[in-house]
């Protein structure tokens, strides 16, 4: 299994974008008013994956991660 490492500082914690759905309250124009919070209402529609085109950025020094086989 592959893993990530920061080539600059050696850190193993990264920031990466996950795409999730959430329910919003909107006005009559469809503009955001507030987030509606209900248990089980959110879902991950894209989970980040190593080698899947996602960019993993080191939380310590903002360097892009290197994949280690």
pLDDT band (50, 70, 90) for residue 60: very high
**Tally of structural domains, the chain:** 1
Tokens of 57: 């950025």
Q: What is the pTM of this model?
A: 0.73
Cβ proximity of 61 and 8 under 8 Å = yes
The backbone torsions φ and ψ at residue 50, rounded to the nearest 5 degrees and listed phi first, read -65, 125
Residue 21's domain comprises 3-68
**21 — pLDDT class (breaks 50, 70, 90):** very high
CA dist 40 and 25 (Å) reads 17
Q: Is 26 helix (H, G, I), strand (E, B) or coil?
A: strand
């Amino acid at each position: 299994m592959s893993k990530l490492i920061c080539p600059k500082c050696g850190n193993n914690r990264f920031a990466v974008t996950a795409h999730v759905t959430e329910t919003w309250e909107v006005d009559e124009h469809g503009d955001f008013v507030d987030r509606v919070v209900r248990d089980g209402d959110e879902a991950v529609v894209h989970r980040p994956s190593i080698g899947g085109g996602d960019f993993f950025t080191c939380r310590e020094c903002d360097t892009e991660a290197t994949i280690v086989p």
